[in-house]
C-alpha cells in the first residue's frame, strides 16, 4: 500500500499545477477562470505581474517539495526498502542553507514590491506639484454607493455637485482620484478590473486613484461585510472617453436641475 499512498501524495503537485494551468489557459467554450480583465494603468499591471511572479516562484517550490516528498515516501517505504534506517540527527550546514535561501528570496520580494505599494497607496497623482483633486466623492451606506461628482468647478462639496447612486462614470486615460468615506459601517470599495481595493471607514476620509485604459461597464464590489444586504451593494462603473464623460456630466447636471430632486434630499 505504500506505493499507492506515495502516488496519492504525488497527485497533489500534479493536480494542483493542472488546476492552475486550466484556469490560466481557459477551457474551450468556458468563461475565463483567471484574473479578471485588467484595464488599469501601471499600478494595476504591476499587481498582476507580482501575483504571477509569486505564483511562478511558489509554483516551483510547490512542485519541487511535492516531488521530493513523493520520492522519499516511495523510496523509503518500509515494505520495500532493504536499507537500514539512516540514524541521523540533522545537518547544521543544510539548516543554514535552507534558511538563508528563502530569507534572501523573501527579502527580495519585500523590497521589490515596495515601489508598487507606494504607487498604489502613498503617492497620490499630482497636478502642478499639488495632489490632484478628487473627481467625485463616494459615500458607502447600507447598501448603496452614493456618488457626488465635483461638477464644473472641479471641487466636491459646492453648489454644482451632481448626485448619483451606484452609477459611477469616469474618464479613461487619465489619473482619476476618488474620495471615499462611509456614513455608517465599514464597507470596502473594490474595483476588481483596476485592482483597487480600500476599506471605507466611518470617521475617515481616504483617497483611491487609478488610470483606466478601456471604455466599458464594470462592477463596483463591496468587499467588507456591512450587514445582511452586503451581497446586493453593487455599483456600476462606466468608463468613457473624456469627451463622452463631459457630455454625460453636462446631461446629468441638466437632469438634476430640471427635476425636483434637491441636493439636500440626498443627505
Partner 1 sequence: MSTTAIQPHGGHDTHAPGMSVGQFISTYVFSLDHKIIGLQFLFSTLLWFLVGGLLALGIRWQLAYPWQDMPVIGRMLFSAEGGQISPEFYTTLFTMHATVMIFFVIIPILAGAFGNYLIPLMIGADDMAFPTLNMLSYWFMWPAFILIGMSFLFPPYGAGGGWTSYPPLSVVWDAAPGSHWPQSLWLLGVTFVGVSSMMGSVNYMTTIIQMRAPGLTMFRLPLTIWAMFITAILQAFALPVLTAAGFMQLTDRLIGTGFFLPDGLVVNNSAPATGGGQPLLWQHLFWFYSHPAVYIMILPAMGMVSDIISCFARKPIFGYKPMVYSISGIAGLGFIVWGHHMFVSGMNPILGMTFMVSTMMIALPSAVKVFNWLGTIWGGKIQFTTPMLFALSFVSMFIIGGLSGIFMAATPVDIFIHDTYFIVAHFHYVLFAGTAMAVFGSIYFWYPKMFGRMMDENLGKVHFFLTFLFLNGTFFTMHILGAVGFPRRLADPYDYDTFRHLLPMNRFMTWCAIGMVATQVIFAFNFIKSMFFGQVVGRNPWGANSLEWAAPSPPGHGNFDFQPIVYRGPYEYGSPEVDTDFYPQTQPPPADPARRYKAPDHH
- Does position 266 bind partner 1 by CB under 8 A? no
Applying CB under 8 A, the span of 24-32, 152-160, 239-247, 248-256 interacting with partner 1 comes to 24-32
Residue 249: count of CB within 10 angstroms of its CB:
19
Nearest one of 177, 167, 250, 164 to 210, comparing CA atoms: 177
Indicate whether 84 belongs to the interface with partner 1 (CB under 8 A): yes
Told to check if 265 binds partner 1 by CB under 8 A, we report: no
Task: Give, as one character, the DSSP assignment of residue 156.
Answer: T
77 lines the binding site for partner 1 (CB under 8 A): yes
Instruction: Please tell me the number of Cα atoms within 13 Å of 77 on its side-chain side.
Output: 14
Q: Which of 14, 50, 156, 177 binds partner 1 (CB under 8 A)?
A: 50
The reply on whether position 210 binds partner 1 by CB under 8 A is no
Whose CA is closest to 219, among 199, 182, 242, 194?
Answer: 194
Given 14, 17, 76, 213, the residue binding partner 1 (CB under 8 A): 76
42 in contact with partner 1 (CB under 8 A): no
What's the distance, CA 196 to chain centroid?
5
d(CA 226, CA 139) in angstroms, rounded, equals 13
Query: Is 18 near partner 1 (CB under 8 A)?
Result: no
Binding part of the chain for partner 1, among 26-34, 147-155, 161-169, 243-251 by CB under 8 A, reads 26-34
Cβ atoms of residues 167 and 148 within 8 Å: no
Q: Which stretch binds partner 1 (CB under 8 A): 106-114, 151-159, 163-171, 248-256?
A: 106-114
188 binds partner 1 (CB under 8 A): yes
Provide φ and ψ at 118, rounded to 5°. -60, -45
- Give the H or E element holding residue 258: helix 242-258
Shortest Å, Cβ 199 to partner 1: 5
Binders of partner 1: how many residues, by CB under 8 A? 101
Q: Is the link from the previous residue into 29 a cis peptide, with omega within 30 of 0?
A: no
Which of residues 88 and 259 has its CB atom nearest to partner 1 in the complex? 88
Instruction: Name the minimum Å distance from CB 259 to partner 1.
Output: 23
- What's the rounded Cα separation, in Å, for the pair 52 and 112? 14
Nearer to partner 1, 162 or 191 (CB): 191
Number of neighbouring beta carbons within 10 Å of residue 229: 11
Supply the minimum distance, in Å, between the C-beta of residue 243 and partner 1. Answer: 26
Residues 143-182 within binding reach of partner 1 (CB under 8 A): none
Binding residue for partner 1, selected from 28, 86, 129, 264, defined by CB under 8 A: 86
Amino acid at each position: 500500500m505504500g506505493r499507492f499512498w506515495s502516488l496519492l501524495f504525488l497527485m497533489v503537485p500534479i493536480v494542483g499545477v493542472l488546476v492552475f494551468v486550466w484556469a490560466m489557459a481557459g477551457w474551450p467554450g468556458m468563461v475565463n477562470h483567471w484574473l479578471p480583465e485588467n484595464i488599469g494603468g501601471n499600478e494595476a499591471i504591476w499587481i498582476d505581474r507580482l501575483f504571477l511572479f509569486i505564483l511562478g516562484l511558489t509554483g516551483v517550490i510547490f512542485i519541487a517539495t511535492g516531488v521530493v516528498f513523493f520520492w522519499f515516501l516511495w523510496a523509503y517505504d518500509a515494505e520495500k526498502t532493504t536499507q537500514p534506517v539512516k540514524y541521523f540527527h540533522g545537518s547544521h550546514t543544510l539548516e543554514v542553507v535552507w534558511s538563508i535561501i528563502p530569507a534572501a528570496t523573501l527579502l527580495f520580494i519585500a523590497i521589490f514590491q515596495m515601489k508598487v505599494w507606494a504607487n498604489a497607496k502613498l503617492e497620490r497623482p499630482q497636478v502642478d506639484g499639488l495632489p490632484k483633486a478628487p473627481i467625485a466623492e463616494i459615500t458607502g451606506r447600507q447598501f448603496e454607493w452614493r456618488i457626488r461628482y465635483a461638477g464644473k468647478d472641479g471641487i466636491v462639496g459646492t453648489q454644482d455637485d451632481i448626485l448619483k447612486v451606484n452609477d459611477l462614470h469616469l474618464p479613461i486615460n487619465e489619473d482619476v482620484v476618488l474620495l471615499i468615506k462611509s456614513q455608517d459601517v465599514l464597507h470596502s470599495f473594490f474595483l476588481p478590473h483596476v485592482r483597487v481595493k480600500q476599506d471605507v471607514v466611518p470617521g475617515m476620509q481616504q483617497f483611491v486613484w487609478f488610470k483606466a485604459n478601456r471604455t466599458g461597464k464594470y462592477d463596483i464590489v463591496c468587499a467588507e461585510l456591512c450587514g445582511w444586504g452586503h451581497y446586493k451593494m453593487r455599483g456600476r462603473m462606466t468608463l468613457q472617453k473624456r469627451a463622452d464623460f463631459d457630455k454625460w456630466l453636462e446631461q446629468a447636471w441638466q437632469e438634476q436641475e430640471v427635476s425636483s430632486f434637491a441636493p439636500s434630499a440626498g443627505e
